[in-house]
Each structure stands twice: as structure tokens, then as C-alpha cells.
Amino acid sequence: MVPPTNKAATISCRRVAAANSLVAFLILFLAFGAAGAQSLKVLPVNIQMPPGQMAATLTVINEGSTETAIQIRAYAWSQPDGNDQLSISDEVLASPPLASIAAGATQVIRLILRHAPQGREGTYRILLDQIPSAAVPGVVQIVLRLSIPIFAQPMTRTAPHVQFHIERDGEQVYLVGINDGLRHEAIRDIVLSTSDGHKLKTESGASPYILAGTTRRWPIATQGALQPSSETVRMTAHAESGAIEQQVRIVGAP
């Protein structure tokens, strides 16, 4: 299946999954160098293009006992209202976009950036779909989708700059991160602690990425431990730029 050419068309990650009727939809946010599932191994799972670099490679290894086919599509990646969104784009070209990989064989995919980003980091995602083979009676096929981020740097220096606060919005409370820098940040292992030692749990399984110029909100599940009189909460986390340890202000709804 070839993606449509309408650049204005926009699809969310969830809509992409529904449209393709996938049994498994895996978006990998991994800190190590290879991802494996359904007999396929893909590396790297996070593609970095430093200033001046206009191409990279993705290696797909078929560790299964039968031939499998894959499709590669590239999308521009943004975060309007803090939600991951993929848009049809020809800024990144994948070659080949379709491939059959024999059992035990390796396929190298070349990724080409058509234009260098200007002023701020360019962000894209590669969707790798495993194409199901012909149906076999009585056999349930589980197919795979991987979503792999691409971060392309401009020639000028970029850095993230994320400021945090806790926001009350009616009965819901959020940890809010505002990245007014020119590069993404990834926030993991968030721990929030009140002055009396209560831990506040944030939504698990969410994307850790805050793209440049965007705002992310993490719902806080254990908000009952947050007293109305509280003014700050202690936050610790791990970011790509280093460890985070700070007092976070509590504010009302914007």
C-alpha cells in the first residue's frame, strides 16, 4: 500500500493503527540500540542526524524461520496540544519502501532527508509495518508495527529548555512541561513527592518526548494526596540532558 500524496492530510497515531487493522501497535521509546518482536529485530530505534548529515540507515533482521515482507513509510512528527501527530510528508525518503526479507537475512533501509532543517530540530517518524502473509485456516496472525523517531539537527546550535509546573483543571491535576527550546527533550522515570512524603503517580506508558516549542501534560492519578494548601511538589526524573531534581509550582487552570 502506497501512502497518499496529499500533504495536507493529517493522521494521529491511533488513526494510523485503526486504518491498518493491526492486532499489535507498538510505539517504542527505548534507551538501547535494538528492538525485537515477531521475529524481527530493528536497529537503531532512535535515529539521530547531526548537523550536515542528510542520510541514515535502518537495519531490519528477520530472525524467524520464514520469509516476511515489510513496508516503510515516513511522516513529519508534531505535537499540537501535546498529542503526537503524524502528517503525510515527502521530507524523508525511504529506500526501498517495500522489501521481502528471507529467513535469517538482513535488509538495510536508507533514509534520506531532502532538506536540512532550519533554525530548530526537524522531527519525523518512520512506520515499519510487517505485511501479513496469506491466511492459514485456524492460525491467528500477529503482525507488527514499529514507530521509530528521527531527529535531524540544523547547522545552528539547538538545546531543549523545559519548564515544569503542576496545573489544577477542575478535578483533574496535571504535570505540565513547556519546552520553549529548539530541540526535543525526553523525560522518563518521573517521581513527584509532596512535603509530607506522599508519592503522586503520573500516567504510565506515555511518550517521554517533548518536541521543541510544544507543551506536554501528564495526568496525575493520585491527586488525592495533593493538599489544597500545597504550593510546590518535589520532582525528580531522568532527561536526555541530565538528571532533574527541582521544586515544581502548583498553579490553577490557565
| pTM beyond 0.75 | yes
Q: How many alpha carbons fall within 13 Å on the CB side of residue 211?
A: 22
Identify the band that residue 229 occupies on the pLDDT scale cut at 50, 70 and 90: low
Write the single-letter amino acid at 165: H
Mean pLDDT of 116-135: 91
CATH of domain 162-251: 2.60.40.10
Q: In Å, how far from its chain's centre is CA 234?
A: 26
Q: Is the pLDDT of residue 33 over 80?
A: no
pLDDT of residue 25: 32
In one-letter notation, the amino acid at residue 119 is G
Cell of 218: 501528564
CATH superfamily for domain 10-152? Immunoglobulins (2.60.40.10)
Contacts (Cβ under 8 Å, ≥6 apart) of 224: none
pLDDT tens, residue by residue, 53-69: 999 999 999 998 889 99
Mean pLDDT of 10-19: 39
List the one residue out of 205, 236, 237 whose CA is nearest residue 221: 205
> For 138-157, what is each residue's pLDDT tens digit?
666 667 899 999 999 999 99
Could you check whether 10-152 and 162-251 share the same CATH topology?
A: yes
Domain spans, the chain? 10-152, 162-251
Of 30-44, 49-63, 215-229, the range with the highest mean pLDDT is: 49-63
Exposed, middle or buried: residue 247 (CB in 10 Å: 0-12, 13-18, 19+)? Answer: exposed
Residue the block writes with cell 496540544 = 81
